[in-house]
Amino acid sequence: MAYNTILIEQDQFIAEITINRPSKLNALNKETIKELSKALKDLDKDKSIKSIILTGTGEKAFVAGADISEFANFSVKKGAALAKEGQETLFSFIEDMKTPVIAAVNGFALGGGLELAMACHFRVASDNAKMGLPEVSLGVIPGYGGTQRLPQLIGKGRALELIMTAAMIDAPRALSIGLVNYVVTPEELLPLCKKIANKIANNSPVAIGHAIKAVNAGFNTTLDGYKTEIKAFGECFGTADFKEGTTAFLEKRKADFPGK
């Protein structure tokens, strides 16, 4: 499939997706969401891909927000449908992927952009990054999971303050409250993400997929995270990756996991 709004590169077992709408500061529109969804679904099925890095073109913006012009005149029904479709096709899908997705936040990550970064499994930011959820300044709330994921990451009080003030925070502040894992210079951003991805690649993709599922279950009020963990832990014992990992350990060699 040819993509109009994203670029995809593969370096061995790492895929890099770049949102490529520089004239719009990489703002999310319907086409971008659709293309990201398709690309991520394909990569999640690809056994050769062990990690995905998601970033934006240039150094100004990761994703500066949603394309407001697309929904400024929506009705209540259309607004709810927009949020539901976006969550199901992209944001919640990323969170539940068995392939780890690292957000390389290279500039502004506002509104839907921050929601996209939060849907990834963790975030690395450049020191010029700015993050926030300014939706209430437009008379709306975050609709792509922001009201749920931000409190999970930084706590209820801090999340409510950021949402209600529509404030932007810089990268050091984001690091201090746990919104991002690391802050580095723009030049160091992708190399660090790739270094982390290489460490991930040394481990069992099947076990990592189960770990993601178990951790996510702990934040889902309809599920028992501990029971999900027990079930996932047991299922690992029936996999080729478990057999290879334990055999390699006992034989004192590096494991060569079959993959997801």
Phi-psi region of 182 (alpha: psi -120 to 50; beta: other; left: phi over 0): beta
User: Which amino acid would we find at residue 129?
Assistant: A
* DSSP calls for 209-240: HHHHHHHHHTT-TTS-HHHHHHHHHHHHTTSH
Question: Angle 185-188-194 (CA atoms, 0-180°, nearest 5)?
Answer: 145
Catalytic residues: 115, 135
Question: Angle 197-174-86 (CA atoms, 0-180°, nearest 5)?
Answer: 70
